Chain A
Amino acid sequence: MGQRLVRVVVVGLLSLLALLAVYPILFMAIGSVKGTFEFFDSPLALPRNWFNFENYRALASRFDLIRLLGNTGVYAGVALALSLLLALPISYALAKLSFPGRRILFGLVVGSMGIPTIAILIPDYLFFVGAGFGGTGVSVIGVWTARSLPGTIFLLTALLRALPSELIEAAKLDGAGYLKTMTSVVVPLSVPGLVTASIFSLTAWWNDVLIPVVFLQEGSAQTITGGVATLGQRLATQDFPLTMAGLLVAAAAPILLYLLLQGYIRRGLVMGAVK
């Protein structure tokens, strides 16, 4: 009897916590289909019309939404390709090749994981402005790639170390050179690590505010989250429903990525935490 009561109370409290976790997200979705007047009349009420997409339409015309999304996609895509192409060879060298200075290099990489963005921001900004890339996507791609390299290399090195070297030896005995070994053995076997590293980088970039705000300011080269952040800074009250629509668009990609790739994300996060 007492046990059962405890259980009811516990599940009740956990459900309340779950409600707290999702309510703001629901509030955002509900608010995005309300009119301004309706929103202020009763901010807590359900919408009168669930299919009122007026705010989304206004967003697309007033806010250049498609362009911001396109920018973000291009920057993140290029940065991802670059960071994986750069990280995989050095990770393979650190994991499977022996060379003088290997430990020092690995130490440098690991040490770089702890550098806060703010400590490199000013020189990087001056570097890209000096090179003529101020206010362009090139600067964001460059900083994103560089920031993600240490973590990606660390993760891939750890995973490549666990690859059985016999497989690589076998490929070499078959006469496979470096490139062939990489493309036919190493890359296929490190797909899970590459996916995990990619998810981490992509969510970090998609959600980034500091780098886009500093490097792109309010220009048309802005990313979706950078755009939302600048919008939020000057948020006027009458724009609340419109803003909710903007937030939902900005939140959609990470939420989808999470729902589709939950397993990978969990494994990646837990890797550092348990054992």
Chain B
Amino acid sequence: MTTPLLSRSGAPAVKSGSRRRRLSRREAVLAYATAVPAVVVMAVLLWVPVVSTVAHSFTKWDGITSTWTGLGNYASAFAGGQLLQLFQTNLVFLASIPGIFLICIITSVVLWERVPGWRFFRSVYYLPTVLSSAVVGILAKVLFSPQGAVNALLGQVGLSGLETDWFGHTGTAWAVLVGAFYWQTLGQGVLIFLAGLSAIPSEVVEASQIDGAGWWRRLFQVILPLLTPTVGYFLLTNVIFVLVDLFALVYVTTGGGPGGSTTPIDFLVYQKAFQDGDLGSASALAVLLLVITLVFSSLQILILRRVGGD
């Protein structure tokens, strides 16, 4: 998608100097006038709030009055190596991304290579992806409740030794949460990897087949390198998701428990702000999250730009 060189501004290049200047000034005025409404909305509800969050992260703030405390909020967030603990749940999810990546890529390649009915599978795998995290979370809560379907199934197949109070222990609670995340991500992965695979010229793959390369070697040495942008997109969107979008899932499923051990950072900001009324330290945590996310989203935008042009 490239823009034709000449036609971007309305005026053909041969007009006389002053006329052209007048036309381009009119065009600029029109552009500003039509851009202003959207700019105002973004300024009032996005840009000023971001600045306000950053500014208030250096204060003690109750929503009405704020007193400057310098780096106090950050110091207490970093104190005693607490930071890792604060980000613990996000890190657990982050560590789970390679697993779902492998599941998605292997499923996609197998579907692409060997299954004539791959469209059907793609649609079925995608269904959970359209559901809200709230729906998925409550579903997980019911399925894994002590009297739920999972324990009942374990009992019926003679594995009653594995029946457990899934949300009573941090480890199993994480397992259920990550399972719900995997369940919702499979469809996205398969969808985009199949699209990426269909863009690979079939001669390339055939050549490597003649080479006699084994399936796994072909996957890692031939196919994956050709899918680099797609893989990058998948990893980045999911890294960003597990950093900033876990609130809904955790809020309904574990409520952050047991004992606050499955609380992701956005949930913690919510609790500090809207339950404890400590808006200053909530802002500081939000700023930490903002900085981390901006790094990852600028990487994502670099990838997106290849599509959007400019």
Contact = CB atoms under 8 A, between A and B. Distances in A.
Given A42-B152, A228-B138, A21 B46 contact: no
Given A44-B156, A97-B9, A149-B41, A120 B282 contact: no
B130 interface: yes
Given A25-B127, A93-B31, A243-B138, A273 B38 contact: no
Contact of B49 (A93, A124, A237, A247): A124
A120 B49 contact: yes
Contacts of B298: 111, 114
Interface in B265-294: 266, 269-270, 273-274, 279, 282-283, 286-287, 289-290, 293-294
A221 interface: no
Contacts, number: 321
A267 B34 CA distance: 29
Given A232-B141, A251-B131, A272-B233, A119 B149 contact: no
Contacts of B31: 93, 97-99, 102
A233 B148 CA distance: 17
B224 to A, nearest CB: 15
B127 A105 contact: no
Interface of A: 6-7, 10-11, 14, 17-18, 20-22, 24-25, 27-28, 31, 40, 42-44, 86-87, 89-90, 92-94, 96-100, 102, 105-106, 108-127, 142-143, 145-147, 149-150, 153-154, 157-158, 161-162, 164-166, 168-169, 172, 178, 203, 206-210, 213-214, 225, 228-229, 231-233, 235, 237, 240, 243-244, 247, 250-251, 254-255, 257-258, 262, 266, 269-275
Interface of B: 1, 3-4, 7-10, 24, 27-28, 30-32, 34-35, 37-39, 41-42, 44-50, 52-53, 56, 63, 107, 110-111, 114-115, 121, 123-128, 130-135, 137-143, 145, 147-149, 152-153, 156, 183, 186-188, 191-192, 195-196, 199, 229-230, 233-234, 240, 243-244, 247-248, 251-252, 255, 266, 269-270, 273-274, 279, 282-283, 286-287, 289-290, 293-294, 296-298, 300-301, 303-310
Given A119-B49, A146-B46, A153-B38, 19 more contacts: A24-B140, A90-B35, A98-B8, A116-B266, A118-B289, A119-B53, A122-B53, A161-B3, A165-B7, A165-B8, A225-B134, A228-B134, A247-B138, A254-B130, A258-B127, A262-B123, A272-B233, A272-B307, A273-B234
